Structure 1
Amino acid sequence: MPNGTPAAIAPPLFSPEQATLLEQLTGTLDGSGLWWLSGYAAGLARSQAVPVVRPAAVPATEPQPATRLTIVYGSQTGNAKRVAERLAQQIEAAGLPARLVRADAYATRELKNERHLAIVISTQGDGDPPDDARGLFDFITGKRAPQLPELHYAVLALGDSSYPQFCAIGRRLDERLSELGAKRWFARGEADLDIDTVATPWLANALAAAKEAFKPQTPLPLATVTPLRPLAAAVSAYTRDNPFPAELLVNQRITGRGSDKDIRHFELSLEGSGLQYEAGDALGVWPVNPPRLVEAVLRTLELDGGHAVTHGDQTLPLRDWLSQRRELTRLSRPFVAAHAARAGDAGLDALLAPDRAADFARLLAEQQIIDLLQTYPAAWTAEELVAALRPLAPRLYSIASSTKAVGEEVHLTIAHIEYAAAGDHSEDRLRWGAASNFLARASEGEKLPVFIERNERFRLPKDGTRDVILVGPGTGIAPFRGFVQERAAISASGRNWLFFGNPHARSDFLYQLEWQDALKRGVLHRLDLAFSRDQAHKVYVQDRLREHGAEVFAWLEGGAHLYVCGDATRMARDVHATLLDIIATHGGKSSEDAADYLNELQAQGRYARDVY
């Protein structure tokens, strides 16, 4: 942008005052906000004669809900957002009116007036809504939701079938909207990790339904379209589907002798990639399955790894399919059901029954595909196996650095998953995590396929005077290393309070020297530690939060932002419950008011979680 002034980007039809207002507005919007604004502006422009006249003649009223498609997404890792944006692009390209809204930006009071609604939403962990959709989910499933007899809707549910509550949030919203009298436009989609298999036909149905519901409008001639803001810097050619081969610079174990954990610090070069990230974003890594695991599967099933298998439009040796294209470390319900049908084992069949949900969840959590194959022998052909296994998906890791401190590098903090499984198959007893083992096996100098996954909801406050509270036990410390680097680089005056926990101080105090140095330099203002196994009774980060509850609440009352990163199933839930207790106790609030207080912090972006 020349000189960085609003006047430099404004077309001649704007006055300087209007140009300033335009820059102020667009400068505060994220991608979804700009999508909505572009659709809104286009809708207004289409109601005018072409060429466009001065803005004073444009009606100030918003298009009526009955004349547009509202697309709402709830996304934890970005997948639902990507699909929703694809739908918005397709609808806009067809000349149809639409708006794209992130779930936490959607005003629930508008629901009763909607006529056409598309929801794209993921399920987080074991049956939880994504953080940005908690408020909307609670509203629609709660008692305050209105009757919706005039609403037509469609739901695309995203999930991971290695969890028992696969697509549960999308399913519950779909069923609840029907209970409220709304009419399904077309059947709900339930997408597993191979999202496009379900998302692509669902998007085609949505576009066809929208074309029936709305009369296509002729797009404005390109000559009359003026960008809302200057063209951004060139976007990197490297994406999720076209990852960058990043050189591994450092692969270093940072847990000490005697630790039960093998936690690694990785540094990778992004030089020449054009990839950019902000503190709070994630790095996607495309893994290759552990070679010993691949060989164990081939040996157990007595299959030839060199046998050529054609699936879809690809032909590869079976060993390559299992190494690079198929999930081997995560069980899913469809594969368990398929294997049970082949094995003919009554005990395995029984685990699939609805009343055995807890036992089935334990199976998914504790066993891998090789365990199933060895425990319940059954015959598979190479072709059947490739078709039944899920596509290998990239793993996302919170970035543990700030570009302001490390330049064209990206750092990660990852626990290498390796353990011995029970059973009599001594040769095949070791089990691994797919991506953590892939990274741990990599030698410095190797090239690893990576991409940036943005996390707009996990950002430091733009106001550097704000205080921040960071809760990150274990590898959850990763983004907060980047946060503290970022705050130091910009000389933010707000205070930084870190809560960290792990089993033992001697062997598991991750980045100990860095935190001690940050304290000395005044970059880190408070550090509270919870080493759970260093005393007779276990102490966790939530215990330290409770001990300092009065101060935590005072910081929140003073405008502090609070961030939590780490395990979703236990730690994050325990921390959330502790925060509710702190707010109720030190704020003199009822449990309901404490929940409203925390929900409001979340809505304001002052309570953000990066949990997995």
Structure 2
Amino acid sequence: MLNNPATHLFADRLWKDLQDVLDRLDEAQSLWLIDYLAAKSNGREVIPSPDQKTNVLIAYGSETGNSERLARQLGNQAEKEGIQAQVATLADVRVRQLLKYQYLFVICSTHGDGDPPQPVSAFYNALMEEEAIDLQQLNYAVLALGDSTYEHFCATGKQLDERLSALHAARLLARVDCDVDYAVAAQAWMDAILKVVPRDKSAIGHRPLSHHSVSQQAARKVYSRQHPFVVEVLENLRLSANHRTNAIHHISVAVDASDFSMTPGDAVGVLVENPPALVAAILDAANLPGEQAVLVDSQAMPLVQALRETRDLTVPGQRLLESWAQLANDDQLKAVLAADHKIQRDFLRTHQLIDLISKYPATPDAQVFVDSLRPLQPRLYDLANSQRYIDDELHLTVQQYRYSFHNRVELGIASDYLLNIQPGESMRIYPHANPRFRLPEAQDVPLILIADGTGIAPYRSFLQELRAAQIARRCWLVFAEQEFEEDFLYQLDWQQAHADGVLSHVDTVFYVDQPWRSLADPLLEQAKRFTEWMEKGAHLYLCGDRTRLTQCEHSLKFWLGETRRAELWEQINNSKRIHRNLY
């Protein structure tokens, strides 16, 4: 009888067949099979093994979708040029897999205080810690996305670039660091990429059969940031108490699920607009007529519309600083322009656009002025309803954002726009998929949902989805806000979900009422339930304020370590059962 070291897993004949196959694999095939099996067990998407014609990997790191959109754009262009490339998120790439590729093109953003996008943090950390791998076969280039008003501008892209070089990969092109107005620089980088990668002439005009086909994925996205869906506002309801400074609203818009379908856990991208009063103040300070025609992305429109809908009228960027210094012919502005990057950044962060153009008056050409302004960025809001439960609406939960700037209080452009939009008015939206914050496919595993503030929104969609699908599973909601009497968001929804058997347990933390209490406390107070659920395969979700949710996660991890269950946390983390949506 064959000596079988895995008798309890494989029948003798199956084990022999496996051995016969393994003995015939070369090193590259063995490496791919290891990654394939690891990915399948961890729930990751499996990246196909490259052949000699498809040894190009376009990898992106993204939270808001900009890097992913550029990566797929590069993939589409490469396909048309006869270059078969695979497009994947860095979250699905293992460092060892880079040994299989000849070309790697990374497009990655930076978030927070110089941090990598949360979904790709595991890859980032593994690459930074890697010492043994030698990537001398790899040619690479990096496109870094960032915001120059932040201190650690494009930090993640810079670090990835330096680390790949340190591991002996060959830098094919110099890294390009892009500000928020990245379109021109990104296209130039992509054009340069396409000039240096060898073509497979037989592939021109033919789509690869891989399920990673960029064109197939793009075809599913009917609406996008460039092609938004115009919807009617049905309701704008204040959820929080009237005396609360930073109000929280519930907004519903009309959609047809057949035209605009979303999955619980996804986000709605909103193309916000600047307040009319700010647009008027900018036009007045620049001494420009609002009706003058300008071009935005080759589309003609009145200047007032361009400023209201397409341009950031709050933060002046580097291009505006350069243009205005020359136009105003001001020595102080010229001195700032001649100084180092830190001084320029500090100046731009302490002057809003209206401050700069009022303090240093000048009358620009309307087109030049529009071209020098940063693009107005869309905002993402978590979907707060299930279309299986309410199929002709989308719901958003929005909190007013206020901040102090010098001696005045400013309102966030996006939240101010949404909190003041009226029923019957229209707004422009697009879907933003978030596949890493979805309900698990297995219907028998418990759910632990932890939310701070408006982070409660996606859980409302989760529970509506479970109710519509008539799926009964153990579900535990832990929610934190300010005051019980005034800020218990969607309280009736949770009561109904509990009555319907969709929600098993609800625990709350109200910071004003209980200043000593933290988000982790309800879980640790019910430690037996928490550990039992995690041992039985529970998925843990964290949504809302990054600082508070990160502290909650650290507290849970620390407690498990103190109670000699550290391996349990590693197990749920490695099996992709922790889902984070932090901001």
TM-score interval for Structure 1 and Structure 2 normalised by the shorter chain:
0.7 to 0.9
| Corresponding position of 2:101 | 114
1:184-220 Cα deviation digits (max 9, x unpaired) = 1112233333343222222222222212xx5533459
What is the letter of the counterpart of residue 456 of structure 2?
Answer: I
Q: Is the 8 A contact 1:549 1:586 kept in 2?
A: no
Matching residue within 164, 170, 173 for 2:157: 170
Matching residue within 234, 243, 246 for 1:261: 246
Q: Could you say if the C-alpha distance between residues 235 and 88 of structure 1 is closer, same or farther in structure 2, counting changes exceeding 3 Å?
A: closer
What is the letter of the counterpart of residue 439 of structure 1?
Answer: L
User: What's the CA shift for 1:418?
Assistant: 5.1
* Correspondence list, 1:295-334, <5 A: 295-309=280-294, 313-330=298-315, 332=317
**In 2, Cα distance between the equivalents of 1:449 and 1:412?**
14
Matched, 1:580 2:563: no
Matched, 1:465 2:441: no
Matching residue within 458, 476, 480 for 1:501: 480
Q: Is the 8 A contact 2:290 2:303 kept in 1?
A: yes
**In 1, Cα distance between the equivalents of 2:454 and 2:536?**
29
**Greater Cα shift, 171-180 or 198-207:** 198-207
Q: Is the 8 A contact 2:84 2:200 kept in 1?
A: no
1:358-417 Cα deviation digits (max 9, x unpaired) = x949x84x874335555x545362444323211122211110010111112110000133
**In 1, Cα distance between the equivalents of 2:57 and 2:420?**
46
Q: Could you say if the C-alpha distance between residues 564 and 370 of structure 1 is closer, same or farther in structure 2, counting changes exceeding 3 Å?
A: farther
| Corresponding position of 1:21 | none
**In 2, Cα distance between the equivalents of 1:228 and 1:152?**
21
What is the letter of the counterpart of residue 249 of structure 1?
Answer: L
SS at 1:323 equivalent: helix
Q: Could you say if the C-alpha distance between residues 209 and 603 of structure 1 is closer, same or farther in structure 2, counting changes exceeding 3 Å?
A: farther
* Correspondence list, 1:229-378, <5 A: 235=220, 237-271=222-256, 274-309=259-294, 313-330=298-315, 332=317, 335=320, 344-345=331-332, 349=336, 360=346, 364=349, 368-373=352-357, 376-378=359-361
| Corresponding position of 2:576 | 605
**Greater Cα shift, 449-458 or 431-440:** 431-440
The alignment of Structure 1 onto Structure 2 pairs a total of residues equal to 538
SS at 1:271 equivalent: coil
Q: Is the 8 A contact 2:115 2:156 kept in 1?
A: yes
Q: Is the 8 A contact 2:387 2:393 kept in 1?
A: yes
SS at 1:412 equivalent: strand
**In 2, Cα distance between the equivalents of 1:228 and 1:204?**
22
Under a length normalisation based on structure 1, what TM-score does the superposition of the two structures give? 0.78
Q: Could you say if the C-alpha distance between residues 325 and 471 of structure 1 is closer, same or farther in structure 2, counting changes exceeding 3 Å?
A: same
Matched, 1:84 2:61: no
1:121-178 Cα deviation digits (max 9, x unpaired) = 2222332112221121112212435232332101122233443323211111011112
| Corresponding position of 1:49 | none
Point out where structure 2 has 5 or more consecutive residues left out of the alignment: 1-36
Matched, 1:396 2:396: no
Point out where structure 1 has 5 or more consecutive residues left out of the alignment: 1-24, 41-61, 424-428
Q: Could you say if the C-alpha distance between residues 565 and 495 of structure 1 is closer, same or farther in structure 2, counting changes exceeding 3 Å?
A: same
RMSD (Å) for aligned C-alpha atoms:
3.7
Matched, 1:387 2:375: no
Identity rate of aligned residues, in percent? 34
**In 1, Cα distance between the equivalents of 2:251 and 2:416?**
13
| Corresponding position of 1:408 | 392
Q: Could you say if the C-alpha distance between residues 326 and 499 of structure 1 is closer, same or farther in structure 2, counting changes exceeding 3 Å?
A: same
User: What's the CA shift for 1:577?
Assistant: 2.3
**In 2, Cα distance between the equivalents of 1:402 and 1:578?**
31
**In 2, Cα distance between the equivalents of 1:330 and 1:576?**
34
User: What's the CA shift for 1:324?
Assistant: 1.4
SS at 2:280 equivalent: helix
User: What's the CA shift for 1:558?
Assistant: 2.0
**In 2, Cα distance between the equivalents of 1:368 and 1:221?**
50
* Correspondence list, 1:523-602, <5 A: 523-535=502-514, 537-548=515-526, 551-568=529-546, 570-589=547-566, 597-598=569-570, 601-602=572-573
**In 2, Cα distance between the equivalents of 1:346 and 1:220?**
52
Q: Could you say if the C-alpha distance between residues 370 and 510 of structure 1 is closer, same or farther in structure 2, counting changes exceeding 3 Å?
A: farther
User: What's the CA shift for 1:352?
Assistant: 7.7
**Greater Cα shift, 434-443 or 393-402:** 434-443
* Correspondence list, 1:187-206, <5 A: 187-206=174-193
**In 2, Cα distance between the equivalents of 1:399 and 1:352?**
44
SS at 1:256 equivalent: coil
**Greater Cα shift, 248-257 or 490-499:** 490-499
Q: Is the 8 A contact 1:191 1:197 kept in 2?
A: no
**Greater Cα shift, 107-116 or 275-284:** 107-116
**In 1, Cα distance between the equivalents of 2:324 and 2:548?**
34
User: What's the CA shift for 1:298?
Assistant: 2.9
Q: Is the 8 A contact 1:88 1:99 kept in 2?
A: yes
What is the letter of the counterpart of residue 266 of structure 2?
Answer: D
Q: Could you say if the C-alpha distance between residues 306 and 101 of structure 1 is closer, same or farther in structure 2, counting changes exceeding 3 Å?
A: closer
SS at 2:186 equivalent: helix
| Corresponding position of 2:22 | none
1:75-128 Cα deviation digits (max 9, x unpaired) = 212222222222233333333343233222223222344322111222223321
**In 2, Cα distance between the equivalents of 1:141 and 1:169?**
11
